[in-house]
Amino acid sequence: MYLKHLIRQVEAMEKLINLTDILKQEKKDETQKMQMKFLVEQMSRPDYMEALQGFICPLNPVHQLGNLR
């Protein structure tokens, strides 16, 4: 059970790191509004939704991220 949650946390962190890198490198010259639009589009993708919905907090497992819209 612990390993399953740990793997999921690593996958979620990888997705967030990749998204951050894209925003810093490729989208840095765009307006904040365009960056936000890109971020919303990426977070709406099924692979991001799957990785982040129901994500259990690594510091306190009582807290869990709910459904993303």
Out of 2-6, 29-33, 52-56, 61-65, the most confident range is 29-33
Helix, strand, coil percentages, rounded to 5, for the chain: 60, 5, 35
Contacts of 64 (CB under 8 A, 6+ apart): 54, 55, 56, 57
Confidence tier at 68 by pLDDT (50, 70, 90): low
First to last CA, the chain: 27
Nearest-Å Rg of the Cα atoms of the chain is 14
Q: What is the pLDDT of residues 3-52, one digit of tens each?
A: 888 888 899 889 999 999 998 998 888 888 998 999 899 989 999 888 88
Distances (CA, A) of 28 to 19, 23, 25: 12, 6, 6
